[in-house]
């Protein structure tokens, strides 16, 4: 549904670690490395002439992008922190008979890397971006794995999203709905004027063509959904106007 991503503009959590160890920052899901762990995908074997080498595993994560980024594209810094073999002990974890002082005996140290990830213009929810060679290191001369990022659209204060269409709730005064009006509504590229036809009901869908998200060179639409607001308190002069309308109007909402 439309509200699926309306988490105050920010995704929570992400998925649990599998295989563990790789941490991310800059994906929009975490403020700190410690709060989000990437997923590790599968690697694969490949045969060299002499010995078997192993390609590094792919590393997967979700990346949250704003609707503006999804429409226009952007470049994002994504930081990864992952365990690599300790240079001091070559991964053995020991220095003579004692634990290696560099890695504390674990055989690995954490290394941080920042990658500039290009978000192309005109993307939508669920698209997978492959950053070649930025996954886990291979062994035995094998190629490194890839970094696979799955695009998630962040919630937006103004718009709900359904595929490439956007939905915006527009509040109208009763007389605007009755008489018609020209009003300004926001889009991802600034405001546009739309015409409210006379006699517009609450819940009407007004289409603004081509103002949705992009996908494969085409654009979705923006749907403006009308809501009619009534004043909860009226001053003396307004009350007099409403009372005059009530006494003189021929409108019968519950007849015919
Ligand atoms: Zn070590």
Dig out the tokens for 83 from the structure.
């365990």
- CATH second-level architecture of 160-231? Sandwich (2.60)
Q: How far, in Å, from the CA of 246 to the mean position of ligand 1?
A: 85
Would you tell me how many other CB atoms lie within 10 Å of the CB of residue 191?
10
* Residue 22 CA, ligand 1 centroid: distance in Å: 19
The ipTM value here is: 0.97
Residue 85 CA, ligand 1 centroid: distance in Å: 8
2-153 and 160-231 agree in CATH topology: yes
Structure tokens at 8: 């105050």
Alpha carbon distance 30, 50 (integer Å): 44
How do the domains of the chain map onto residue ranges?
2-153, 160-231
For residue range 85-131, what is the model confidence (pLDDT) as tens digits? 788 988 888 998 999 999 899 888 888 888 899 999 999 999 999 98
The pairs formed by 46-50 with CB atoms below 8 angstroms and a separation of 24 or more are 46/142, 46/143, 48/140, 48/141
Which of these CATH numbers, 3.20.20.70, 3.40.50.10420, 3.40.50.1860, 2.60.260.20, describes 2-153?
2.60.260.20
Is the predicted pLDDT of residue 66 greater than 50, yes or no? yes
Mean pLDDT of the region 180-198: 97
Q: For residue 98, how far is its CA from the centre of ligand 1 (angstroms)? A: 11
How far away, in angstroms, is 191 Cα from ligand 1 center? 58
Distance from residue 89's CA to the centre of ligand 1 (Å): 4
82 CA from centroid of ligand 1 (Å): 15
């Amino acid at each position: 549904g439309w509200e699926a991503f309306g988490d105050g503009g920010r995704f929570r959590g992400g998925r649990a670690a599998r295989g563990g160890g790789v941490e991310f920052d800059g994906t929009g899901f975490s403020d700190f490395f410690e709060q989000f762990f990437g997923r590790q995908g599968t690697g694969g074997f490949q045969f060299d002439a002499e010995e078997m080498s192993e390609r590094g595993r792919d590393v997967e994560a979700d990346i949250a992008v704003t609707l503006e980024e999804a429409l226009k594209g952007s470049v994002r810094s994504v930081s990864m922190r992952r365990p690599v073999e300790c240079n001091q002990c070559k991964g053995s974890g020991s220095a003579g008979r004692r634990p290696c002082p560099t890695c504390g005996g674990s055989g690995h140290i954490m290394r941080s890397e920042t990658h500039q990830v290009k978000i192309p213009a005109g993307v939508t929810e669920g698209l997978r971006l492959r950053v070649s060679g930025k996954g886990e290191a291979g062994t035995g001369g094998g190629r490194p794995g890839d970094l696979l990022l799955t695009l998630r659209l962040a919630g937006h204060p103004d718009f709900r999203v359904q595929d490439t269409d956007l939905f915006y709730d527009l509040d109208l005064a009763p007389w605007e709905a009755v008489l018609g009006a020209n009003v300004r509504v926001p889009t991802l590229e600034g405001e546009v004027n739309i015409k409210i036809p006379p006699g517009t009901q609450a819940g009407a869908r007004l289409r603004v063509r081509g103002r949705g998200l992009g996908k494969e060179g085409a654009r979705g639409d923006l749907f403006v959904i009308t809501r009619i607001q009534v004043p909860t308190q009226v001053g003396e002069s307004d009350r007099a106007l409403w009372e005059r309308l009530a006494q003189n109007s021929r409108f019968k909402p519950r007849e015919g």
